[in-house]
């Protein structure tokens, strides 16, 4: 961990290559959620600070966008090496400020790291197309160009991965960037910026500003911002998409989710159970790809329930900042803990059976909610369609795969869904029938890797081009079509 991070009490901004402490009218506490202790404070800044960050990015843009593409790649290769060398301390930092287990934190940084690896191939990704003789004596060619100043606004649940869906590729494409990380987990972003600076990134190419809705709205309306990448809850995603688009920006905005895990009677019982536990209770349920509806078809429902309860009872919930063997950590802060507890209370009051109650048997300190299980959920219950974003799993029991697909397609979200089965025919029916963007067959968390787009649908995504993969390159660039006619003397003589 860098000396700066160890000493941070007030989270600095990073503007034009300089680290600056800013005071503000209000601050958001950064907690170690395992202990409930404040470890730093994020200043909730204003339009004036947005102006400084955007102007720094604007100033850096002409030189950065003019740099030869392989030279940009060289810096990304150095960044890749530094990230690899610092992977473990980054993972510990994520554990500290977010509460993930060490393994989950390693996954968070690794998934971001893979985007940097993808971006290292920018020379190949950036290439245009050409067709000689697109018309008589005319050659056609496409050229990619960056957009200008791009902005990233990220949520708390993946302090490394989500910002890294955005800035490495945007910068590799020749854009400059302003990141507004979640005010709840800014320390990881600070370390990611320090390492990029160490890799030789010129001043102003990457900037960080902090704040909440005022800063976000200011970024969405700033005349010098060309594009916005947002990830967070659906109502804010929709707001950012609407405001940014109305102000002429290109916007991609990932939102919330409600993901179903459909289990067929022929599924491998052990592998399926492991996948369900990881998907529903991993990261304390705070994943946009977390399985939160367990749809056990026919008789498998009861078998699953008995084994699931025993696994839940044996899950080690604990202080991830002190115990590397803890299997599930806390939720992000006291307000998330209260919100989730209130949802449990409300759903139980609707008459649903609370098979396991996460408000009980939890560590005394910190912001813990234990694994929670509801049974007999139908499409009419509020918990069917509401994103809880915590370790709360709801069991449903359809008679057939057709009924399961019908139910899942009633959801307004469209991030992920998984089918556990041994039948190719059922897998095909599921793949063709489900209306959402990321599907798993015997995979508990079908989150797209860096070479694929993170392909949410419906209320889980607003925009056209998703983050990551070649869609990411398309989002962060625009194309010129060049038609050229150079008639030679020979051609003229030949009458061609």
Dist. CA 172–CA 76, nearest whole Å? 7
- Asked if 152 and 229 touch (Cβ cutoff 8 Å), the reply is yes
Least distance to ligand NAD from the beta carbon of 410, Å? 19
Number of neighbours of residue 350 by Cβ within 10 angstroms: 12
Least distance to ligand NAD from the beta carbon of 382, Å? 16
- Asked if 297 and 262 touch (Cβ cutoff 8 Å), the reply is yes
Q: Is 288 a catalytic residue?
A: yes
Least distance to ligand NAD from the beta carbon of 472, Å? 13
Query: What stretch of H or E contains 457?
Result: strand 457-458
CA 257, 263, 264, 268 dihedral sign is positive
Exposed (0-12), middle (13-18) or buried (19+): which is 387, by Cβ within 10 Å? buried
CB closer to ligand NAD, 182 vs 418: 182
CB closer to ligand NAD, 327 vs 333: 333
How does DSSP assign 160-226, residue by residue? THHHHHHHHHHHHTT-EEEEE--TTSHHHHHHHHHHHHHTTPPTTSEEE---SHHHHHHHHH-TTEE
CB closer to ligand NAD, 203 vs 386: 386
Q: Summarize as ranges the residues that interact with ligand NAD (CB under 6 A).
A: 153-158, 162, 180, 182-183, 212-213, 216, 231-233, 236, 239, 254-257, 288, 387, 389, 415, 454, 456, 460
Instruction: List Cβ neighbours of 326 (8 Å cut-off, separation of 6 or more).
Output: 101, 316, 317, 318, 319, 320
CB closer to ligand NAD, 263 vs 290: 290
Dist. CA 414–CA 456, nearest whole Å? 6
Least distance to ligand NAD from the beta carbon of 452, Å? 13
Angle, helix 401-408 to helix 424-433, in steps of 10 degrees: 20
Least distance to ligand NAD from the beta carbon of 62, Å? 29
CB closer to ligand NAD, 189 vs 199: 189
- Find the catalytic residue in 173, 283, 288, 436: 288
- Tokens read off for 479: 């194309």
Q: Which residue is nearest to ligand NAD (CB)?
A: 232
CB closer to ligand NAD, 99 vs 254: 254
Backbone angles phi, psi at 261, to 5 degrees: -115, 110
* Three-class DSSP category at 44: coil
Instruction: List Cβ neighbours of 329 (8 Å cut-off, separation of 6 or more).
Output: 33, 34, 95, 99, 100, 101, 104, 283, 284, 317, 318, 319, 320
Dist. CA 467–CA 460, nearest whole Å? 13
- Tokens read off for 282: 């991993």
CB closer to ligand NAD, 216 vs 264: 216
Least distance to ligand NAD from the beta carbon of 342, Å? 16
Least distance to ligand NAD from the beta carbon of 242, Å? 11
Q: Which residues are catalytic?
A: 288
């Amino acid at each position: 961990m860098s000396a700066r991070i160890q000493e941070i009490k007030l989270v600095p901004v990073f503007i034009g290559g300089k680290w600056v402490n800013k005071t503000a009218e209000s601050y958001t506490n950064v907690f170690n959620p395992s202990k409930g202790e404040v470890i730093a404070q994020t200043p909730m800044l204003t339009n004036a600070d947005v102006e400084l960050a955007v102007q720094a990015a604007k100033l850096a843009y002409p030189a950065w966008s003019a740099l030869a593409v392989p030279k940009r790649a060289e810096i990304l290769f150095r960044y890749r090496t530094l990230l690899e060398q610092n992977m473990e301390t980054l993972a510990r930092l994520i554990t500290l400020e977010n509460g993930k287990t060490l393994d989950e934190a390693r996954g968070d940084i690794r998934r971001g790291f893979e985007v940097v690896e993808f971006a290292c191939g920018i020379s190949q990704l950036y290439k245009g197309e050409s067709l000689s003789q697109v018309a008589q004596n005319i050659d056609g060619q496409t050229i990619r160009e960056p957009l200008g100043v791009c902005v990233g606004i990220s949520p708390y649940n993946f302090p490394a991965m989500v910002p890294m869906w955005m800035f490495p590729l945007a910068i590799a494409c020749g854009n400059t960037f302003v990141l507004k990380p979640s005010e709840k987990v800014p320390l990881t972003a600070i370390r990611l910026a320090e390492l990029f600076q160490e890799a030789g990134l010129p001043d102003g190419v990457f900037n960080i500003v902090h704040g909440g809705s005022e800063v976000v709205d200011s970024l969405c309306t700033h005349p010098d911002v060309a594009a916005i990448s947002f990830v967070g809850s659906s109502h804010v995603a929709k707001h950012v998409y609407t405001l940014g688009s109305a102000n002429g920006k290109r916007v991609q905005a990932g939102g919330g989710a409600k993901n179903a895990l459909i289990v067929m009677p022929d599924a491998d019982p052990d592998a399926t159970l492991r996948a369900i536990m990881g998907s529903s209770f991993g990261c304390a349920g705070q994943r946009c790809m977390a399985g939160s509806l367990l749809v056990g078809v026919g008789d498998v429902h009861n078998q699953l329930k008995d084994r699931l309860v025993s696994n839940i009872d044996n899950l080690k919930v604990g202080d991830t900042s002190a115990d590397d063997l803890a299997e599930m950590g806390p939720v992000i802060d006291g307000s998330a803990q209260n919100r989730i507890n209130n949802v449990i209370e409300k759903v139980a009051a609707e008459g649903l059976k609370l098979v396991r109650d996460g408000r009980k048997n939890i560590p005394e300190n910190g912001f813990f909610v234990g694994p929670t299980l509801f049974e007999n959920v139908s499409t009419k219950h509020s918990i069917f369609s509401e994103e809880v974003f915590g370790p709360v799993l709801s069991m449903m029991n359809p008679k057939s795969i057709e009924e399961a697909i019908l139910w899942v397609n009633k959801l307004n979200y469209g991030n992920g869904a998984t089918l556990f089965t041994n039948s190719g025919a059922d897998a095909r029916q599921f793949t063709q029938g489900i209306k959402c963007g990321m599907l798993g067959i015997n995979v508990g968390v079908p989150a797209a890797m860096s070479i694929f787009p993170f392909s949410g649908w419906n209320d889980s995504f607003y925009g056209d081009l998703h983050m990551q993969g070649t869609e990411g390159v398309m989002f962060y660039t625009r194309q010129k079509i060049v038609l050229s006619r150079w008639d030679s003397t020979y051609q003229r003589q030949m009458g061609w």
